[in-house]
Amino acid sequence: MTRALRVASWNVNGLRACARKGFSRWLARAGADIVGLQEVRALPHELPPAVRAPRDYHAEFAPAEQRGYSGVALYARRKPDAVERSLGLPHFDVEGRLLVARFGRLVVANAYFPKGSGTLRDNSRVPYKLAFYRALFERADSLRRAGFRVLVLGDFNTAHREIDLARPQGNQKTSGFLPEERAEIDRWIAAGWVDAFRSFVPEGGHYSWWSQRQGVRERNVGWRIDYVLASPAAMRFARSAWIAPQVRGSDHCPVGVDLDPAVLG
């Protein structure tokens, strides 16, 4: 069997901070062909050279206009055939939340979905968050209808089902597990998109984010809010999907999917 094409996603919670905690070492060892990063929180020129332009990778960045906020990046061993950084909606585009790269017939949409909690944790940003979900759904679905094999990956900032967080009963009114947020992921699934990890791993206890309060990660009191959603055409090439909780450097851990490289052709 030929070597799989590994696609990884990681909310690094500040790429400069993650770099100080071993990001480059992880990248060198991960064996990933395409890596989507979220919450970069830096302009490219502010990053160390080895992170701004990693050896053996082509790097793309979509920073937010606000310094030190949001931002996404994508590293790929093969230069993308095309790159987009816009949904065509300024109120989303200024926050640097999307980078879409095409590799042959494979399209990877790397997204950092907004939090709904707002600065005061009053759920004031939930409408903005839901509007982003819907706008990206339309964009991704248009790519799918155009015949591309599409992966939408990143920090979705929502745990889809009770199995996707350790304490569902205590978070019914918490942004990230509100019914209206979960319903947005329901809409993707109902339209045929596949939660790659769940298609391979049906059991609970697997999370991608933990509070930074002491001992929380060690007790695995987490949330699974980082996903790879695959269009049916892309999912046909999936060999496995994974979460790597042993990888530190952020309050999130990397997640990903391994594909038959024929997905590109």
- Cα–Cα distance, 12 to 252 (Å, whole number): 7
User: 16-21: long-range contacts (C-beta < 8 A, 24 or more apart)?
Assistant: 16/41, 16/42, 16/46, 16/47, 16/48, 16/51, 18/249, 18/250, 19/47, 19/48, 19/50, 19/51, 21/248, 21/249, 21/250
Considering the chain, what percentage of its residues have pLDDT values greater than 70?
100
The CATH class of the 5-264 domain is alpha beta
Check residue 1 and give its pLDDT: 75
pLDDT at residue 120 tops 80: no
Percent of the chain with pLDDT over 90: 97
* Domain regions of the chain by residue span: 5-264
Q: pLDDT tens digit string along 193-223?
A: 999 999 999 999 999 999 999 999 999 999 9
pLDDT at position 119: 77
Reply yes or no on whether 155 is catalytic.
yes
CA dist., res. 234 & res. 237, Å (int): 6
Which candidate in 155, 164, 226, 258 is catalytic?
A: 155
147-200 pLDDT, tens digit each = 999 999 999 999 999 999 999 999 999 999 999 999 999 999 999 999 999 999
> Which whole number is the average pLDDT over 28-49?
98
| pLDDT at residue 6 tops 80 | yes
- pLDDT for 243 beyond 90: yes
Q: What is the pLDDT of residues 56-96, one digit of tens each?
A: 999 999 999 999 999 999 999 999 999 999 999 999 999 99
